């Protein structure tokens, strides 16, 4: 790669005028010399456009380029597709509009890894911050005490081992995007976001380099999508179906995955989310729905007898599970 290759920053934004300046300021603080940033406004009704236009001169003075693109509201994944068709960079990062970079050398360090290591994806650890005062808060993410190279495809696919999806902490080569995401188009669904669609094709059978330092801040918002998705039983079930549909369609679109692997992973994802719907029905005392999910589970797997107590007596189930734990401890 030529010296000082171009970094493209792609940021979908929807009514984020309260947070967007902080991200833009963090980009302006970077020590990397060549950056273009594309803000794709997903039908905002606030003053997002004015904010971006007011920052353009500051970006130009630094030698950066800032672009504003408006689209009718179609969801984050549609906004990503819009931006992918525009970006001209050699490397890509795609931060959320409400998060921001924690260090002025964040982009430089991410680029350095891709230019020196045989990996397709590089990421840094992230710091969760409370929206109200930007104070650090805990998270379920796996932490690293040293830089590491791993294959984390399964962790991403199954949401396990503390995998984190905050996209601004990731960087990839655009040559790999063109190789693994046909026509620069990810699966689109308004409530699906864009994390699995971007990450799964790039992580499959490819190595990921993790920088141990926290170079990116994630603002935890009470009103965020993740906080409201499961506000009711019906909404929760719908979102679980959205997750499964998004992953299955993404796997089916991956040119570097064999048909047999696609079928294996799609079947395993179906089983995972079927179990999740069963558990969700139990926790919401939806006995009729739980019975239906349990019936399908019995067909697909040899469900442990202990799980039958979960259906007919949640209290007894918890008690037996506790006893089993004490015996096997």
List the one residue out of 305, 32, 82 whose CA is nearest residue 186: 82
The average pLDDT across 64-81 equals 96
Task: Burial-class residue 23 by CB neighbours within 10 Å (0-12, 13-18, 19+).
Answer: buried
pLDDT at 300: 81
Q: What is the mean pLDDT of the chain?
A: 89
Domain 7-221 adopts which CATH fold? Spore Coat Polysaccharide Biosynthesis Protein SpsA; Chain A (3.90.550)
Confidence category of residue 304, pLDDT binned at 50, 70, 90: very low
Cα–Cα distance for residue pair 290/285, rounded to 1 Å: 8
pLDDT at 194: 86
Tell me the sheet residues that pair with 125.
Answer: 214
Confidence category of residue 324, pLDDT binned at 50, 70, 90: very low
Question: Would you give the end-to-end CA distance of the chain in angstroms?
Answer: 54
Phi/psi-derived region of residue 43, left when phi > 0, alpha when psi is between -120 and 50, beta in every other case: left
The average pLDDT across 292-296 equals 89
The SS3 assignment for 160 reads coil
pLDDT above 80 for 136: yes
Confidence category of residue 326, pLDDT binned at 50, 70, 90: very low
Question: What is the pTM (predicted TM-score) of this model?
Answer: 0.87
Number of residues that make up the chain: 329
Alpha carbon distances (Å) from 286 to 237, 273, 280: 12, 17, 9
pLDDT above 90 for 108: yes
Residue in this structure with the two tokens 């202990």, named with its chain if needed: 306
pLDDT above 90 for 237: yes
Question: Per mean pLDDT, which range of 55-59, 222-226, 237-241 is the poorest?
Answer: 222-226
The average pLDDT across 170-186 equals 96
pLDDT at 329: 42
pLDDT above 70 for 228: no
List the one residue out of 121, 123, 122, 126 whose CA is nearest residue 102: 126
- Dihedral sign of CA atoms 107, 111, 112, 114 in order: positive
Question: Per mean pLDDT, which range of 122-126, 140-144, 229-233, 276-280 is the poorest?
Answer: 229-233
pLDDT above 70 for 230: no
- Tell me if 177 sits within 8 A of 202, measured CB to CB: yes
List the one residue out of 90, 113, 120, 117 whose CA is nearest residue 204: 120
pLDDT at 307: 58
Domain boundaries, the chain: 7-221, 229-328
Residue in this structure with the two tokens 């290591």, named with its chain if needed: 117
């Amino acid at each position: 790669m030529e010296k000082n290759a171009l970094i493209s920053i792609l940021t979908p934004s929807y009514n984020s005028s309260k947070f967007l300046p902080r991200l833009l300021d963090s980009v302006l603080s970077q020590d990397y010399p060549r950056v273009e940033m594309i803000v794709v406004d997903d039908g905002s009704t606030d003053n997002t456009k004015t904010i971006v236009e007011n920052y353009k001169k500051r970006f130009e003075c630094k030698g950066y380029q800032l672009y504003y693109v408006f689209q009718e509201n179609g969801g984050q994944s549609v906004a990503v597709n819009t931006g992918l068709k525009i970006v001209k960079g050699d490397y890509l990062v795609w931060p959320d509009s409400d998060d921001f970079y924690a260090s002025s050398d964040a982009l430089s360090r991410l680029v350095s890894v891709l230019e020196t290591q045989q990996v397709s994806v590089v990421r840094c650890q992230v710091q969760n911050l409370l929206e109200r005062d930007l104070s650090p808060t805990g998270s379920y993410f796996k932490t690293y005490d040293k830089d590491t190279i791993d294959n984390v495809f399964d962790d991403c696919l199954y949401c396990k081992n503390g995998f984190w999806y905050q996209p601004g902490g990731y960087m990839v080569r655009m040559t790999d995007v063109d190789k693994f995401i046909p026509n620069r188009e990810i699966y689109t669904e308004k409530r699906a976001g864009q994390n699995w669609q971007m990450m799964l094709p790039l992580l499959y059978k490819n190595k990921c380099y993790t920088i141990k330092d926290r170079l990116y801040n994630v603002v935890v918002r009470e009103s965020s999508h993740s906080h409201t998705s499961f506000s009711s039983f019906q909404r929760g079930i719908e979102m679980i179906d959205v997750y499964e549909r998004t992953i299955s369609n993404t796997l089916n679109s991956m040119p570097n995955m064999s048909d047999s692997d696609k079928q294996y992973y799609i079947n395993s994802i179906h089983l995972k989310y079927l179990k999740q719907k069963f558990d969700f029905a139990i926790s919401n005392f939806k006995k009729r729905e739980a019975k239906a999910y349990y019936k399908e589970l019995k067909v697909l797997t040899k469900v442990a007898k202990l799980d039958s107590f979960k259906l007919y007596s949640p209290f007894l189930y918890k008690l037996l599970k506790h006893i089993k734990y004490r015996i096997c401890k």
